[in-house]
Amino acid sequence: MDTLVATHLLKTAAAVRLLGAEAVITGIRPEVAQTIVHLGVDLGDVITRATMAEGLSYGFGKLGIKAVQE
Amino acid sequence: MQKIPIIKIGENLIVSLQFDIDDSSAVGLQGDLLLMIQKTGATGVLVELSALDMVDSFMGRMLSDITRMSATMNANTVIVGIQPSVAITLVELGLRLEGVHTALNVEAGIALLEKLRTAKAGSGHETDSDK
């Protein structure tokens, strides 16, 4: 993860927002979290979650969808 | 390098700094804490500093870094038990710790974490049933 990747992700999230959707960045590992902060990249406006499960849970919550076991 | 214990209680991780720690221990703690967040999926981190009577600029920056890193992994951080002398030192150093939540003691800190969690659940339309 470098500044180029980080800014690209930010741009992607901003573009997605223009299309009326919301981007959630998931799967951020501890090392990546450290790198992002050390690079000084501001992810304040982007929703981030540690795991994809948490990201999906967020998305489902927004859409009012619930996953249940049969 | 000393290893600092990280305790999980419910949704929160609690870190208590019982002695003045050196820089390498602080960096180690940073990594350990993020690993614990990944492992446990905790959504709150409480850092207790009441036994600390000396804070330098490195330590101050480390605290604000931890907050931002945890936020990236969806965990709120609250710093509690800052000694009056430490508070003065931090401000004198120009470290205002903006964006970092602080509380007087552990009790108030846990209450603040709870409040932050409900606020986030409300704005993100996340419900308990989704978890």
Angle ∠(A27,A32,A38) on CA atoms, nearest 5:
145
Residues from chain B that touch A38, judged by Cβ atoms under 8 A, are 65
Out of B37, B41, B72, whose CB is closest to A36? B72
Do B34 and B73 form a contact (C-beta atoms < 8 A)?
yes
- Pick from A36, A50, A60: which is nearest to B74 by CB? A50
Give the pLDDT confidence score for residue B22 in this predicted structure.
Answer: 86
Tell me how far apart the alpha carbons of residues B70 and B78 are, in angstroms, rounded to a whole number: 11
- CATH classification of the domain holding B72: 3.30.750.24
Contact: B73, A37; criterion CB under 8 Å: no
Angle at A23 between CA B8 and CA B112, to 5 degrees: 35
Range of the domain at B10: 6-125
* Position B83 in a domain: yes
Strand partners, B102: B79
In a domain, B1, yes or no: no
Mean pLDDT of B71-97: 89
Contact B72 A43 (CB under 8 A): yes
A60 touches chain B (CB under 8 A): yes
Give which of B9, B17, B2 is closest to B36, Cα–Cα.
B9
From the number of C-beta atoms within 10 Å of its C-beta (0-12, 13-18, 19+), residue A51 rates as: middle
What is the arithmetic mean of pLDDT over A41-66? 87
Closest of B98, B44, B34, B129 to residue A42, by C-alpha = B98
* A43-64: average pLDDT: 88
Whether the predicted interface score ipTM is above 0.85: no
Q: Say what the pLDDT of residue B123 is.
A: 66
What's the pLDDT at B127?
44
Q: What is the pLDDT of residue B54?
A: 81
Strand partners, B46: B14, B78
pLDDT one-digit tens code per residue, B44-78: 999 999 888 888 888 888 988 999 999 999 999 99
Q: Please determine, for residue B124, whether its predicted confidence score (pLDDT) is greater than 60.
A: no
Q: Which two three-digit tokens encode residue A58?
A: 């967020």
Question: Look-up: residue for tokens 């350990």?
Answer: B32
- The number of CA neighbours under 13 Å toward the Cβ of B55 is 27
Question: Of A54, A38, A56, A20, nearest to B62 (Cα)?
Answer: A38
A64 at B interface, C-beta within 8 A: yes
Contact A30 B31 (CB under 8 A): yes
Tens-place pLDDT, residues B5-39: 999 999 999 999 888 888 888 899 999 999 999 99
CA dihedral of B85, B90, B91, B93, whole degrees rounded to 10:
120
User: Is residue B118 within 8 angstroms of chain A, CB to CB?
Assistant: no
Interval A4-22: pLDDT, tens:
888 888 888 888 888 888 8
**Alpha carbon of B129: minimum distance to chain A alpha carbons (Å):** 8
